[in-house]
Amino acid sequence: MERRIKVLVAKPGLDGHDRGAKVVASALTDAGMEVIYTGLHQTPEKIVRTAIEEDVDAIGLSILSGAHMTIFPKVLKLLKDNKREDILLFGGGIIPKEDMIELEKMGVGKLFGPGSSTKEVVDYLKNWFQNKK
Amino acid sequence: MDIENIFQKFQKRDKNSLSRMITLVDNEDPYGIEFLKRFYTKRNDSTVRIGITGPPGVGKSSLLNKLVENFAKNYSFTSIVAVDPSSPFTGGSLLGDRLRMDNIYKFENLFTRSVASRGSLGGLSSSTENILQVLEIFKSDIILVETVGVGQSELDVMEVTDMVIVVLVPESGDSIQALKSGIMEIGDIFVVNKSDREGSERVVQYLNSSLKMKKEGKDFIPPVISVSAKEGKNIDKLYVEIENVKNFFIEKGIIARKKSLRKKKEVRDILRDIFIKSIDIELKNMENKKDLSPYEIAEKIFQKIDFKISEDIWKEG
Ligand SMILES: Nc1nc2c(ncn2[C@@H]2O[C@H](COP(=O)(O)OP(=O)(O)OP(=O)(O)O)[C@@H](O)[C@H]2O)c(=O)[nH]1
Ligand SMILES: [Mg+2]
């Protein structure tokens, strides 16, 4: 049986709206993926608990608040504590170049800037999944 | 893969292993099937499965979000399975029930899983039963199953669960015709949610009177309760009704009877799967003789077919 890519899309932090996260969630769904959408105000603890219970392949976080340097490493650490480093962590938001490089060094996947298209996200996930198998 | 090891981790209450085993049975992986066979006797035989269904957006998840507090406090382990439809065109699925279920993170003795209905048109995926069995092997006391009540899935939820809560809203009164078709038959408890809005009393009255008519002479008439998940109104009362109906069903042997019927149906489904898959294998190897009628081909296949035992079938994929 063909296995579908399962992705958790969440918007951590207290700021703003979840429009971007919703757009990505429905684009991934249209591309045939199974998307768990949890909306706003997700803490790293909730995100990782959801990822574990749902056994997702990847977690996509939309971060606009500038809290990326605390949230991404925290989620990575919790995944590691739970022996789920196999789950891909990627994201989107307004993230300065040097932060991006640092996060990628820590093991975060691709980070999509404001101008990115949803197709780029879909292609990225499909490629990653293909190579993982 | 070492399924013994996974079972040992189940006994240590490891949710990571539970979650991964659910993925295996959801994908009909041979290891998943092997696990269900090997540890069938280890399941909690008194788990009660409670379905919660109703039209889209009536507040099923919001209601569960309130009810889980009661279940988490009264039972040692409760699981929630939220089924959402897959798109018949792309196969994708947007699983959004967690959006309304923030309380689940307050309790460690809760486990929530979202499930896409996959192939089965509007209904529950064939692996839903398998997922519930894994949760029983994990010794859940209660399993709450949310499905969107459109078409087939509301009948399916009745088959995989022991009792069903049907959720409606005040506006449902306007589509009373729709209520008559099917939904009245499947509910063991009726809930009118969003009672913070106009018109819930009217729907409650209507439900009560038509249930009384339908169930005349029976010893069980489904209770009707109006609640508001938003304001937390009557949630405790609903919980008490759930417990009452559950205990009544256990006492009267209704749940035992449902379990036994369900098992027979499952055996039939598995056999049908084996037959169909075996036939498909034969068909693949069949030379398509132009002048043989389909009947003759079928007879030929029937004479020599070797029905594979399940392991081989699952491996064929
Ligand atoms: N006014 C009011 N709104 C409610 C109540 N319960 C839920 N809602 C709202 O109804 C909408 C749908 O709620 P959900 O809990 O997602 O409903 P659902 O039946 O699970 O929806 P699906 O799973 O998509 O079919 C949300 O906007 C809720 O905030 C209630 O008691 N009163
Ligand atoms: Mg829901």
Listed in sequence order, the residues at least 6 apart from B209 whose beta carbon sits closer than 8 Å to its beta carbon are none
Q: Which of A39, A49, A53 sits opposite B99 (nearest CB)?
A: A39
Supply B45's token pair.
């035989």
Fold of A6-132: Rossmann fold (3.40.50)
What does the mean pLDDT of chain B come to?
89
Q: CB contact, 8 Å: B5 with chain A? A: no
Of all protein residues, the one whose alpha carbon is nearest to atom 10 of ligand 1 is B59
A 17-76 residues with CB < 8 A to B: 25-26, 28-39, 45-46, 49-50, 52-55
Does pLDDT of A61 surpass 80? yes
Q: How far is the CA of B57 from the centre of ligand 1 (A)?
A: 5
* pLDDT score of B308 more than 70: no
pLDDT at residue B67 greater than cutoff 60:
yes
Neighbours of A34 (CB within 10 A): 25
What is the pTM (predicted TM-score) of this model? 0.93
- Give the pLDDT of residue B171: 85
Mean predicted confidence (pLDDT) in B263-290 = 83
CATH class of B43-252: alpha beta
Segment among B106-115, B126-135, B153-162, B245-254 with least mean pLDDT: B153-162
A10, containing H or E segment: strand A6-12
The answer to whether A3 faces chain B, any CB pair under 8 Å, is yes
∠ CA A61-A65-A71, rounded to 5°: 50
> Minimal CA–CA distance to A47: which of A37, A130, B148?
A37
Å between A37 CA and nearest CA of chain B: 5
Arithmetic mean of pLDDT over chain A:
92
Per DSSP, the three-state class of B210 is helix
Q: Find the mean pLDDT for residues B254-279.
A: 89
User: Please, how many CA atoms are within 13 Å of residue B272, restricted to the half-sphere of its CB?
Assistant: 7
Answer whether A30 sits within 8 Å of B92, measured CB to CB: yes
pLDDT score recorded for residue B125: 66
- What is the B154 CA–ligand 1 centroid distance (Å)? 18
Q: What is the pLDDT of residues B165-214, one digit of tens each?
A: 999 999 887 665 555 567 788 899 999 999 999 999 999 998 998 889 88
Dump pLDDT digits (tens) for A63-77: 887 889 999 999 999
* Residues facing B80 on adjacent strands: B112, B144
Which range has the worst mean pLDDT, B149-153, B239-243, B249-253, B297-301? B149-153
State the DSSP code for B228: B
pLDDT at residue number B317: 42
For the cut 60, the answer to whether the pLDDT of residue B144 exceeds it is: yes
Lookup: tokens for B99: 């959006």
Residue B316 pLDDT > 70, yes or no? no
Mean pLDDT of B239-254: 98
**Cα B193 to ligand 1 centroid, rounded to whole Å:** 9
Whether the pLDDT of residue A36 is over 90: the answer is: yes
Q: Closest-CA residue in chain A for B88?
A: A32
pLDDT of A1 over the 50 cut? no
Tell me, what's the pLDDT at B279? 85
pLDDT recorded at residue B178: 57
Tell me the per-residue pLDDT of A13-27, one tens digit each, with 9 for 90 and over.
776 677 888 999 999
Asked if residue A35 has pLDDT above 60, the reply is yes
Residue B179 structure tokens: 């209520």
Quickly state the pLDDT bin for B309 (edges 50, 70, 90): low
Name, in order, each residue with C-beta under 8 angstroms of B245's C-beta and a sequence gap of 6 or more: B163, B188, B189, B222, B223
